A and B are shown apart, each in its own frame.
Chain A
Amino acid sequence: MPETAPSALELEDVEVRYGAVPAVHGIDLTCRQGEVVGLIGPNGAGKSSTLAAVMGLVAPSRGDIRLGGTSITDAPTEAMASLGLALVPEGRHIFPEFSVDENLRLGLLGRRDRAGTDEALESVFELFPVTREFRHRTAGELSGGQQQQLAIARALVSGPDVLLLDEPSLGLAPQVVATMMGALAEIRRRGMTILLVEQRAQLTVAFADRTYVMRDGRIVLTLAPDDAGDVDLLTSAYFGT
């Protein structure tokens, strides 16, 4: 990924507080267009709070968040999809009693370009054939891996500029994770900018162009794909030992 590519998502000095308790201490983070950026760290490191701030679910107490160079710091959550951000949240949050089709229709709400709806659906059907095969089935009947595919498909049909993934491998069997990572590789090949928040350090570092390590609300290290094999480095980065 050329380092000169324009930035798609930028966080500058972003601080998040829950009352008096700081969760994120003024972090800087950049995803350039077409880049996959990893964000790893132990539980409570501030990863999900960072995503919540990006999506407008919590208001940062300081700093600026820019999408394609335009500040979205004060934009409401419901405007984010149409601004070009899509989130696959931790725990998937599909609508289990809705059909697969209805879940996808909700994803289409955020589209800026209504004309491209059919192409967007066709594109995710190709990527995740189960979403076409089980289109009329209730989403809650799908397996965990299939539900994760649906959650990613639902995010993609909105036609985002940046795809945010929060712990997509959580609760999935290793084989299912491998399939999902294959799909993410294809999404990357199509030029999507991805911010991947994960606890699985090795997997993320190997996959992402660049991985930030977060601990106690701060970014403490940036890792390159080659660092994925250095278990000692990963362990010390993760736990601060």
Chain B
Amino acid sequence: MRFAQTLIDALALGALFALVAMGVSLLFGVMRLVNFAYGEIITAGAYALLLTKGMATPARITVTLTVTIVMAALINLVLRPFRTVPPPTALIATFALSFLLQNLAILWFGTQGAAMEFLPALNQAFTIGEVRIRWITLASLLMGVVLVGAMALILRRTDIGLQMRAAAADFTMARILGVRSNRVIAVAFLATGFLAGAVTLALAVQRPLVTPSYGFNVLVPALVGVVVGGLDRLVAGTMGGFFVGFATVLLGQFLPPDARVFLNSALFAVVIVVLLVKPNGLFVRHTKGFERV
């Protein structure tokens, strides 16, 4: 029974990390850029939830999603001049932007955390047999499945999805065929903004204390997941995010109690082994002629 309990918790954290990883992978696909400022979109959503404390839940959800989408659009504008610079320069620019935004949050909100108090009732559990399942666990899992499925459908079945996949696979050829790069990149940013908003809502229930590094703390393990899964492909990167979330809960549960302080060390040891064995990513089957999104 304990295993079933752990498994469900692991699936739920995996689903959340998968959503963050999908946002990172999607943007990497069309821009060849790892956006470190992605975590700050989640942080902005969390502060939106904090500032709307006392308002009705639908209004708080609407404001949060609006804030994350607008934030993503603004980051797109800020990073626009970096599209033509070498990738390492752009990567460092996103790092700088991430720290700038974190420090702005420190200036405005201080380093002390504050409680968002968003739907705390979802932390209540119901039981199936001897397994206790929190409602938010179920909600996170459902949200992960629905959003990953929806994104896959958009990419597979719509014209803009086809264009995003084409831009990710061969950016120059896509432009030669008439794919508008600005439009595709803007849509990718907006999609990642929406995903970040959804992640914020699920996280806020489970981790109600918002700090300036709130999103960054989630981004780092998800980013590790993206690299482990395969940075070059959306599905592989998303699965990598899921893998890291899933493994975190499993390791936390099965490590001896006095060894749990080494949870991150154990996780990264697994990551190192995976990358040594499959340097292109755990979920990448082949490396030639791949489709990135």
Contact = CB atoms under 8 A, between A and B. Distances in A.
A97 B291 contact: yes
Interface residues of A, number: 25
A93 B181 contact: no
A109 B179 CA distance: 7
B106 interface: no
B1 interface: no
B111 interface: no
B180 A78 contact: yes
Contacts of A76: 175
A98 B176 contact: no
Given A97-B289, A154-B177, A158-B178, A105 B170 contact: no
Interface string B262-293: 00000000000000000000000000011100
A151 B209 CA distance: 54
A89 interface: yes
B176 A97 contact: no
Given A105-B162, A106-B162, A158 B177 contact: yes
Contact of A55 (B162, B176, B179, B181): B176
Contacts of A78: 175-176, 178-181
Contacts of A96: 289, 291
A95 B176 CA distance: 13
Contact of A77 (B165, B176, B289, B290): B176
Chain A CB within 10 Å, residue with most, of B175, B178, B180: B178
Contact of A89 (B159, B162, B173): B173
B163 to A, nearest CB: 7
B178 A109 contact: yes
A154 B174 CA distance: 12
Given A78-B181, A105-B162, A97 B173 contact: no
Contacts of B173: 89, 93, 95
B166 interface: yes
Contacts of A87: 176
Interface in A84-109: 87, 89, 93, 95-98, 102, 105-107, 109
A78 B159 CA distance: 16
Interface in A33-73: 55, 57
Given A98-B291, A106-B162, A93 B170 contact: yes
B162 A110 contact: no
Contact of A97 (B174, B177, B290): B290
A27 interface: no
B169 interface: yes
B166 A106 contact: yes
Contact of A95 (B159, B169, B178): B169
Contacts of B180: 78
Nearest to A85: B176
B172 interface: yes
A78 B180 CA distance: 6
A144 interface: no
A158 B289 CA distance: 24
B177 A110 contact: yes
Given A77-B175, A77-B176, A87-B176, A109 B289 contact: no
A81 B170 CA distance: 16
A82 interface: yes
A78 B178 CA distance: 4
Contacts of B165: 95, 98
A77 to B, nearest CB: 4
A63 B170 CA distance: 29
A178 B175 CA distance: 30
Contact of B162 (A82, A93, A97, A102): A102
Contacts of A89: 173, 176
A158 B162 CA distance: 16
A95 B166 contact: yes
B276 to A, nearest CB: 27
Interface string A131-156: 00000000010000000000000100
Identify the 9 closest CB pairs spanning chains A and B, nearest first. Answer: A97-B291, A81-B178, A110-B178, A96-B289, A109-B178, A93-B173, A78-B175, A77-B175, A106-B177
Interface of B: 159, 162-163, 165-166, 169-170, 172-181, 289-291
Interface of A: 55, 57, 76-82, 87, 89, 93, 95-98, 102, 105-107, 109-110, 140, 154, 158
10 contacts: A57-B172, A77-B175, A78-B176, A78-B180, A80-B178, A81-B176, A89-B173, A97-B289, A109-B179, A110-B177
